[in-house]
Structure 1
Amino acid sequence: MVTATLIDNVWATRKSEKLNGLKLMLAEVIGGSRKGERMVVCDVIGAGIGDRVIIATGSAARHMLEDDTIPIDAAVIGIIDESCETV
């Protein structure tokens, strides 16, 4: 898992049919060795631009959608209200 800030929406006019109805967003990692890395994430919990979030990657992300055949590698699994440390 990583923490990130959602910085933009991502629209794709052509994509896998399995992604239809899913909200894609651009996230920037805010801590650790991956700080500054950007990734496209699937948001199923209703986060918005500017929110600090927790992101699961790999099979954990697909498990969040309860379908291991969906071609995603990162999913928002939580919105950070506050943290003990500044990352």
Structure 2
Amino acid sequence: MQLATVLGQVVSTVKQPGLDRFTLLLLADVTGADPERTTGADYVAVDLVGAGVGEVVLVASGGAARVAAGADAPTDRAVVAIADTVVRAGTVTYRNT
């Protein structure tokens, strides 16, 4: 799993039937649990938890994403949690305000 920041939404009026119940989010992986520092290319994931723009989330990928989203939804990545706090080496590096 990976920490990521929600950058926005991807709106699609026509989706594969298994995806019609999900919001699609635009994400960027977080570097060092700092939501202002992202790495790599932006990507899209299905939202299973109701995350919003600017929140730090936990993203499952591959088979874990497909299981979390349900077998009827083809997906490679799924948002499975919204981070309240990230603690690294005993220090809070992120707190959802």
Task: Give the alignment's TM-score, normalised by structure 2.
Answer: 0.77
In the alignment, which residue of structure 2 is the partner of 1:14?
14
Larger fraction in strand: 2
Q: Which protein shows a greater Rg?
A: 2
- Quick check: 1:80 aligned with 2:83? yes
**RMSD over aligned Cα atoms:** 1.9
Per-residue CA deviations over 1:32-64 (Å, capped at 9, x if unaligned) read 7x8233110100111111110000001100111
> What is the aligned residue count?
85
Task: Give the alignment's TM-score, normalised by structure 1.
Answer: 0.85
SS in 2 for 1:26: strand
SS in 2 for 1:15: coil
Any runs of at least 4 consecutive aligned residues in structure 1 with deviations exceeding 3 A, and if so which? none
Conserved 8 A contact 2:69-2:75: no
Task: Give, in whole Å, the separation in 1 of the partners of 2:27 and 2:76.
Answer: 13
SS in 1 for 2:67: helix
The farther-off stretch of 20-29 and 34-43 is: 34-43
Identify unmatched segments of 5+ residues in structure 1.
none
In the alignment, which residue of structure 1 is the partner of 2:4?
4
The aligned runs of 1:26-41 (5 Å cut-off) are 26-31=26-31, 35-41=39-45
State percent identity of aligned pairs. 35
In the alignment, which residue of structure 1 is the partner of 2:69?
65
Task: Give, in whole Å, the separation in 1 of the partners of 2:87 and 2:68.
Answer: 26
